[in-house]
Every structure is written in structure tokens, then in C-alpha cells.
Chains A and B, each alone.
Chain A
């Protein structure tokens, strides 16, 4: 707060990171520690050549910034996903995950990969902080825990850039992230909350699972529209069709192809406003989901997609061009026109 007047024009972090990316980069990258999102001081490894991702979001974050450092994937990618990634990186082995709902990588396996750094991004709650501390203590490998929320992605890139000595590349992605968020939010800023479309997020083949208020699953939707299930805070839950009829959403966003294909002919959904108005939208998901999971930078593209769907008059950009640009910057590939059509159709 002391520096309010000074950093009003430009965020202090942006300034420092910007400087570090240009003038100070060599010296800065050799700093002793980087403070991660949980406030832990993570020792900066001397020379990073191999990074172990603790879970899918971390693997994606690292892939976008420094694909060559990625040891492997928490789960092996499918061949059709590799069409949208660098093939030699996409086919790297399955290494399991060391966070989330269950460990599938044991620590000896982690050590056997000889990582210079373990990267985790997501919740910074006590469970994950203690996990990070414990793993770092047991393995003596620096374990960085970054924040996975939208507004923290830019910061996550900058921290990671410092940790692996790629501050310059990180700064580019961080800037793109900030610009995208600023552009999208800026254009809809004048629309009052009450005037924004009411969106129901449908998961599962019957479309009856949804993300409640504040759930990471609906972060994209809640950022630029109103989540009909947002009154009840929580994570994922099942709801009844009756409840959806009461909510009567303007728009339905789904990740389930089966649901998207059948809902129009399902008599029990027929009187829902979104179905009547033909506003059921299947989210793209290749190579990573656009609106929901994994909760990493992949959702940034979904924000463009959603913004164009909900506010077409305010977003005149060509989505295909945006897709191509995003895939080039983040996934290091240039998809063909046919591939972009395939992605935008929500197919996998």
C-alpha cells in the first residue's frame, strides 16, 4: 500500500520482472531463492535441465514455457492429442503424479528421473504446502508450489521463469496472459453483473453434474458471466433436471459430446431456455480442455471462446486466428485450418 502512487500506472511486479527479463536477467536468474505462491523460499537450482511435473496442470504450464525440460507426463497423452503438440515432447513417458487425489508416482521413481526441480501448480492450501515441504525434505529437490488461479497465471510464469532461468520467455507468456485477461474483462466491464448471461455448466453424459460457486471447474464461466449454480459454494455436484428448469439458463456450456449430441432431442430438457434457443455449446478440448480441466493456462483460450459466444458484438476477432496464435505461442505448433475446425467443433 505504501507504494500505491508509484505502482498505480504499472504493476510493480510487472516492472521488476520486465527489468529482470531484459537487463537483470543473467544476475537475477542466479538468485538464491524464489518465493513461491505459498510463501515458501524455493532454492533456485544452478542449472535446470530436467523438471518433474507434480500433476497435469504443472506439466502443461511447463510445456508452454520450456517443453525441453519436461521429464514426462502425469498420464500418457493420446496420439490424437499429440497432433497439437511437439511430437517428440508429447510422447515423453508417463511418470505419474505426486499430488491431487492420490500419488501414482513414488518418490524413488521421482528421484530416479534425477529432476533439478519439482513443479506443482494449483491449490496452495495447507495440504499441498505440507506435501511440498515433505517431498522437498525427503528428496532434497527444490519443490515449487505455484497458484493455479486465473489472475495468478502471469505470476506463476514469472516465478517459473526465474526458477528455470528462462525469465525472458516467461515474460512473453505472462504479458500475453495479462493482456488477454485485461482485454476480455475490459470489454465487458460496462455490462452490469445482472445483465450478463446466466450460464449452466453441464458435465457428464446426462449433463447433470455441474460446478458450484467458486469451484475451479467454473472459473472461466464465473469470470465473465453468471453461473446459475453459483449461489451454493462448493466443488462438483449433481443436480436434477427440475433444478435446471428452475434456473432456466440462457446458455449451456458442456464438455460432454454425448450430452451435447442428445440434449436437443431429450424431451425433459426441451423447455430449458438455452435448449429452446439452440444455445448449447460444446467446449473445445484438444489438446487440453478450454473451459475446465486441467486447470492450467489451457483455459485462457477458452476465455476467448466463451467471450465470443456470450458477447459476439463486443468481440469481433476471428476465433480461428486467435486459436492459431495461441497454439503457436503456448503449444509451439501451427495447426492447419482443418485441425482448427476439428478443435472448434469440440471433437477429440
Chain B
């Protein structure tokens, strides 16, 4: 039995991956920063005086690479946690955080923002709100359809509304100025953390912390939600309100991530499975493990994205290139592992 297995080795592996990723991410990059410079800048920051390094080095560590590393971990953790919650809620291993339309909604919000030539912060806000609206629409429609299988209705509504928002994205791209706006939209939709600065961290951290806190607080009940609807009700869990809470929390973290980093697929799909194979299906262990693994995974991917070439490799492309083989392997072995 998975449940009986100790989670300690699994969590230890996850933490080791994260720390290795953190060290690597902070010391490599297009701008050369030595380990000594890194330590002296961080030490100087902690004790509160100026480090004895060139200002450009300090700026790279504190203004450019540091915020980006933190954002990569937050976004990776957020998507992995949301994916874990949705896979449990929908009792389906092939579900990702955008199943209810959060990504499509955020994408539409962002391209509309770019189309209207809004500023960066406004674009991120519109994207965030777009994600919330899309999931809100899905939930209202899903809940108003009478069905013996509310989960299935919700997923189907999510797919349909998601594709409607996708069509909206296509329409805005079609209408956009091909020289200026269209490339900006394309870059945004491919996902990137290249523009992350210190100011981006709080709008990201706030919603992610709130959503993650709700999910952690609900961890025991989420185990029950993984059972069939009737069994969960028989155990005295109010499935309706609980489902709303989980969906709302997961949507909050997903929308905040997508608003900051653009569309990054696969992390929310792949990482929960990695986490499950490390610590088993109990949400009390699974959520922190997924968060740590997701943070470390996206940190590694983003480090590749910013170091491989002079130009940025879009995150959506790298995660897909690495995620697809895993997904195929998952499809092949899903029968025996998921029950």
C-alpha cells in the first residue's frame, strides 16, 4: 500500500531537487556571476550594507535573477498544487489546472490587454481577472445543469467554454496589428518569465499564498473527495461547498501564475504524478511534495530557458518538449498505477 509507505525519502528527494535547482539557477545565467559574488551580495543584503561588487552584478542578483528565480518557484509550485487538487477533485489523472478554462480566460484577458495597448501591470490584471471570469462562467453553467454526474458536466463545460475563449483569443490575434501587437501576443501565449521584476512578486505571491493555504487547510477532506460522490456524501462531507472551495482556490493560484508567466502547460499535469509516485496519494503529503517538486521543476526549466541561447526559449515550448514523453509514458502505464 502506498499510504503505509513513509513519505520522508520522497520529500527528501523533492527538497534536494529544489535546493540543487536554486543553487544552479542563482549561479548560472547570461551575465556571469560567481558564487563568491552571490554570497557577498546576499550577505550584504542580510546585514544591510553595500556589497563590494560592481553595481551591475548586484543588480543582476537582486533585481533580475533573484526575482525571476523566486517567481519560477512560485509559478511552478502554484501550477503543481492546482493540478494536484484538480486531479483529485475530478478523479482523473489526465486533468491539468486549465481544465476549467483558467488559462484560456487569462489568455483572452492578456491578448485583449495587449490589443488595447495597456501597460504591463494592467495586462497582468486583466489576464488574472479573465481567468477568474472563465472559471466562474464554467462553474455557474456546470452547477445549473441537472445531472447525476456533476463532475463530468463541470469538465465538459470547462472544455467547451475553454475552446470558446480560445476562439476569442484567435479573433483578437486576427484583428491585431501584425507588426507590433501580434508578436507581443504570441510571445505572451508561449509563456516566459523574462520580464519578471521585484514588483511582480507581490501580485503573484498574494493569490498563490491564499489559494495554497485554502487547499492545505482542506487536505483531509480532499482525500474524501477522491472517492466517488455517493461515498463521500455517506462519509458526511458536503461535496458541493467543498468543490466550490477547491475550484476557487485552484483557480486563484492558476490565474495568478498565468497572469505573471503566460501559458505554461504540462507542469500542472506532470508534476502531480511525480509527486504521487514519491509520497503516495495522501493529500497531506502530496500537496507539499507537489509544491516543492513543481517549484524545482519550473526553476530548472526556466534556468534552461534563459541560459541556452542569447534569446529566450519560451517556457511553454520547453515544458512541452520535456512533458510530452512523460505524458506518453503516463498514458501507457496509467492502467496499473491509478486506481
Contacts and interface: CB of A to CB of B under 8 A. Distances in A.
Interface in B148-198: 174, 177-180, 182-184, 187, 192, 194-195, 197-198
A203 interface: yes
Nearest to A258: B119
A10 interface: no
Interface in A254-284: 255, 258, 266-268, 270-271
Q: Secondary structure at chain A's binding surface: helix, strand, loop or mixed? A: loop
Interface string A209-245: 1001000000000000000010110101111111101
A205 B31 contact: no
Contacts of A75: 177
Given A101-B178, A239-B311, A266 B197 contact: yes
B2 interface: no
B309 A104 contact: no
A242 B30 contact: yes
Given A206-B120, A243-B310, A246-B31, A293 B184 contact: no
Size band of the interface chain A makes with B: 35 or more
Interface in B201-246: none
Nearest to A243: B30
Nearest to A97: B178
Interface string A129-143: 000000000000000
A136 to B, nearest CB: 23
Nearest to B120: A205
A224 B106 CA distance: 41
Contacts of B310: 229, 231-232, 239, 243
B56 interface: yes
Nearest to A276: B55
B29 interface: yes
Given A229-B310, A245-B60, A204 B179 contact: no
Nearest to A267: B63
B324 interface: no
Given A209-B187, A268-B197, A240 B59 contact: no
Contacts of B180: 203, 255, 293
B195 A102 contact: no
Contacts of B63: 241, 267-268, 270
B285 interface: no
A207 to B, nearest CB: 9
A171 B64 CA distance: 52
A208 interface: yes
Contacts of B60: 242, 245
A294 interface: yes
A55 to B, nearest CB: 8
A66 to B, nearest CB: 24
A209 B190 CA distance: 13
B178 A242 contact: no
Interface of B: 29-32, 54-56, 59-60, 63-65, 68, 119-120, 123, 174, 177-180, 182-184, 187, 192, 194-195, 197-198, 306, 309-312, 314
11 contacts: A56-B179, A102-B174, A203-B180, A229-B311, A232-B311, A239-B194, A245-B30, A245-B64, A246-B30, A267-B63, A271-B56
Given A238-B192, A242-B64, 14 more contacts: A101-B178, A102-B174, A204-B187, A205-B119, A205-B123, A206-B195, A238-B312, A239-B312, A240-B306, A242-B60, A243-B31, A266-B197, A267-B198, A293-B180
Interface of A: 56, 75, 100-102, 104, 203-206, 208-209, 212, 229, 231-232, 234, 236-243, 245-246, 255, 258, 266-268, 270-271, 289, 292-295
